[in-house]
């Protein structure tokens, strides 16, 4: 049985689409949007581009910066960003991996200064075909996964 989905438009703000299911809540945590006004979250929509389904996050009355939206590429590299102004798409944005990541990813090395001394995390992007970041403190190279990401 087909179900009709009701996804309401927003007048101003940011729409994050094509997030792999079930990562919408993780995206909100990565961006630090837990207490940021009105949001609409859609989880598990059917998608031809994503066989496992897609999630959508709409943040009303807030235009996310390029630096903020690029963080999403860590777990949802195919996500798309639409900036909405006066009820229309004012900008369609592709995201790209940030060159460095601070305070949103934990180092898996238990002996790292970030885990032992509580230093702020800082990772640099390694060049290559996989999403790998190197810890600036302990030099451990780590492939990014959703479990390593925390709120900012």
HSE-CB at 82 with a 13 A cutoff on CA atoms is: 18
Task: Tell me the CATH number of domain 100-148, given options 3.30.70.20, 3.40.140.10, 2.30.30.20, 3.90.580.10.
Answer: 2.30.30.20
**Sequence-distant (≥ 6) Cβ neighbours of residue 27 within 8 angstroms:** 16, 19, 55, 57, 72, 75, 76, 79
Per-residue pLDDT tens for 55-67?
999 999 989 899 8
- Find the largest Cα–Cα distance for the chain: 55
Confidence of residue 71 (pLDDT cuts 50, 70, 90): confident
Look up the pTM and report it.
0.79
Q: Where in the chain is the domain with CATH 3.30.70.140?
A: 13-94
**Sequence-distant (≥ 6) Cβ neighbours of residue 70 within 8 angstroms:** 95, 96, 97, 98
pLDDT of residue 88 exceeding 90, the answer is yes
Nearest to 93 by CA among 76, 58, 69, 71: 69
Fold held by 13-94: Alpha-Beta Plaits (3.30.70)
């Amino acid at each position: 049985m087909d179900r009709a989905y009701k996804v309401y438009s927003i007048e101003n703000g940011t729409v994050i689409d094509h997030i792999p299911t079930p990562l919408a809540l993780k995206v909100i945590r990565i961006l630090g949007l837990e207490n940021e006004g009105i949001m609409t979250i859609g989880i598990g929509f059917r998608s031809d581009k994503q066989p496992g389904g897609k999630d959508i996050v709409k943040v009303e009355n807030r235009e996310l910066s390029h630096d903020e939206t690029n963080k999403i590429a860590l777990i949802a590299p195919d996500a798309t960003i639409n900036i909405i102004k006066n009820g229309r798409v004012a900008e369609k944005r592709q995201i790209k991996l940030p060159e460095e990541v601070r305070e949103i990813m934990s180092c898996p090395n238990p002996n790292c200064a970030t885990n032992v001394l509580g230093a702020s995390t800082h990772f640099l992007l390694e060049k290559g075909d996989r999403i790998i970041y190197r810890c600036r403190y302990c030099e451990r190279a780590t492939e990014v996964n959703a479990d390593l990401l925390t709120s900012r």
